[in-house]
Amino acid sequence: MFGKLLKHDFFATGRFMAVVYAVFAIVAVYLVGSVHFSGNELDSVGEMLSYIALCLIAFVNFILTAVVVMSNFQKTLYGDQGYLTFTLPVKSSSVLLSKTIVSIFWYLAAFGCFMIAARIALWSAGEAIGETTLGLVDSILAMTEDGLSLSVIIVSVIAAIIEFFFLVVAFTMVAFLAITISNTRPFQKHHSLYAMLFMAVIGFVVVKLSEVIGKEPFFGFNYNFSTEKIAFAVGDSAKLAVAHVDLAVPLFLIIVSVGFFFITHYLMKKKINIG
């Protein structure tokens, strides 16, 4: 049953997201092909427009993802479609878990889309001015030539990816909790307004707590790349790098996400009246 929930949640959200990714893919292919075959210059209006469109889609995609995921959550659980969802012979925790997984997938896809757009933009800009730009792997190898330990860099990158992942999970759970609270009886009438308000408040509290716990700027996954940290680890082993990867924030995000999942589930089950 859980697989069926996932399938239908992917389909419900994917109908719109598929269009976004199809447009992104067409623009990306056009831009890469056009720049490659036109003498490596962004000299036509079409190329310039597709260049701008690519960057725009990559940025807007995060907002679109958030809108699609949150409106799907609201409509299918607390709108009229809730009559269907909550009478299915499945556990309400499975319903919530399915929506969480689908949400995380789309945010990660948006991030992947952003990275691809950034890579193409850098490449096409570099081609246009006649200089080659470095990819991530090339950049890492170049850093090692400057004396940085490869293991230090790899550990830092992995730590950053893990932290980003948990950031996405926490963001999803903050949004779901905020929407759920806004659908409880006192706030039901103006639930959209309250959902935004609760999201801002809960998000602010999580940010502040993570700043205190992590002793770093909020969700500072960039700090792993910072000169200071890497310089500190130069010439040392991977152990030293690992020692300087701050696990406090990812752990905090895991605890927050799990906690918010259970609170959302409790409210969903005990405090929401559909219709």
Partner 1 sequence: MANALLQIRNLRKSYGSHEVLKGISFDIPQGQIVGLLGPNGCGKSSMIKSIVGLINDYEGEILVNGQNPGVESKKVVAYLPEKNYLPPWMTPKQAINYIADFYSNFDKEKAIAMAQTFELDMKQKLKTMSKGQQEKLHLILVMCRKADLYILDEPLGGVDVVARDFILETILKNHAENSTILLSTHLIYDIERILDRVLMVKGGMLAVNTDVEKIRENGNTVENLFREVFSNVW
Residues that bind partner 1 (CB under 8 A): 1, 4, 7-8, 12, 15, 75-76, 80-84, 86-91, 185, 269-271, 273-275
Contacts of 25 (CB under 8 A, 6+ apart): none
Which of 3/130 has CB closer to partner 1? 3
Please say which residue, 75 or 119, places its beta carbon nearer to partner 1. Answer: 75
Concatenated DSSP letters for 31-99? HHHHHHHTTS---SHHHHHHHHHHHHHHHHHHHHHHHHHHHHHIIIIISTTHHHHTTSSS-HHHHHHHH
How far apart are CB 114 and partner 1 at their closest, in Å? 27
Taking the least distance from each CB to partner 1, the nearer of 45 and 84 is 84
Complex with partner 1: residue 35 or 179, whichever CB lies closer: 179
CA distance 55 to 123: 13
Considering the complex, what minimum distance in angstroms separates the CB of residue 257 from partner 1? 24
Distance in Å, CB of 272 to partner 1, minimum: 8
Q: How far is the CB of 16 from partner 1 (least distance, A)?
A: 9
Given the complex with partner 1, which of 13 and 65 has the nearer CB atom?
A: 13
In the chain, % helix, strand, coil (3-state, to 5) comes to 80, 0, 20
CB of residue 192 to partner 1, shortest distance in Å: 19
CA distance 239 to 233: 9
